[in-house]
């Protein structure tokens, strides 16, 4: 039973040897042609599928890049926030013992912060600044303020800067400001 149909036809005499060889030759030619078609000429549907796969890869890579940038940005913001907290913890001065109000403006409103008399003099001289972080006002040395602003440019800062108005000083030289004046 292991004989193929072709061999069985040969034995019975329905097909002769010549026709058998010709049939095998045609069969090999068809296989070769089919194999050549797969190698030499790409299938148009396969090319379209390949383009679609490539496009999907590029879109995924772009999404991954955007996601990585977003993660990196969040990481930088988190790092900057931690650095700000460290700077405030390290350099902020305590206002718990403050008895003298120091007035400054925030969003068009006059705010006040209770400070000690020494802190009030340093604030007026521009040696100290006031920064707001999470709804609280902190006193910090003026040298620390640029470092805080470098990490968060939107941070509120109240810092007295010296005025170069010598003309105004000369006009009011005759009218000294009393020492006991508080506003």
What's the rounded Cα separation, in Å, for the pair 86 and 19? 94
pLDDT tens sequence for the chain (183 residues): 456 777 787 788 777 888 878 888 888 888 887 776 666 555 678 788 888 999 999 999 999 999 999 999 999 999 988 998 998 889 888 888 888 888 888 888 888 889 999 998 888 888 899 998 888 889 999 899 888 888 888 888 888 776 545 566 677 778 777 767 666
Estimate the share of the chain in helix, then strand, then coil, as percent rounded to the nearest 5. 55, 15, 30
What's the rounded Cα separation, in Å, for the pair 23 and 26? 5
97 and 29, same domain (yes or no): no
Number of independent structural domains in the chain: 2
* 111 within a domain of the structure (yes/no): yes
What is the residue range of 17's domain?
5-40
* 64 within a domain of the structure (yes/no): no
Terminal CA-CA length for the chain: 118
């Amino acid at each position: 039973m292991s004989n193929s149909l072709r061999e069985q036809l040969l034995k019975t005499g329905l097909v002769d040897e010549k026709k058998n060889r010709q049939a095998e030759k045609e069969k090999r030619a068809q296989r070769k042609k089919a194999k050549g078609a797969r190698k030499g000429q790409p299938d148009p549907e396969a090319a379209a599928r390949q383009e679609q796969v490539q496009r999907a890869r590029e879109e995924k890579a772009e999404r991954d890049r955007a996601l990585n940038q977003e993660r990196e940005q969040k990481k930088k913001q988190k790092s900057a926030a931690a650095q700000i907290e460290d700077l405030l913890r390290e350099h902020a001065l305590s206002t718990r013992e403050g008895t003298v109000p120091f007035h400054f403006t925030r969003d068009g409103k006059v705010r006040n912060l209770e400070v000690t008399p020494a802190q009030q003099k340093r604030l007026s001289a521009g040696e100290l600044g006031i920064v707001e972080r999470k709804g609280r006002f902190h006193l910090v040395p003026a040298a620390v303020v640029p470092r805080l602003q470098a990490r968060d440019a939107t941070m509120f800062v109240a810092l007295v800067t010296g005025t170069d108005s010598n003309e105004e000083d000369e006009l009011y030289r005759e009218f000294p400001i009393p020492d006991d004046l508080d506003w």
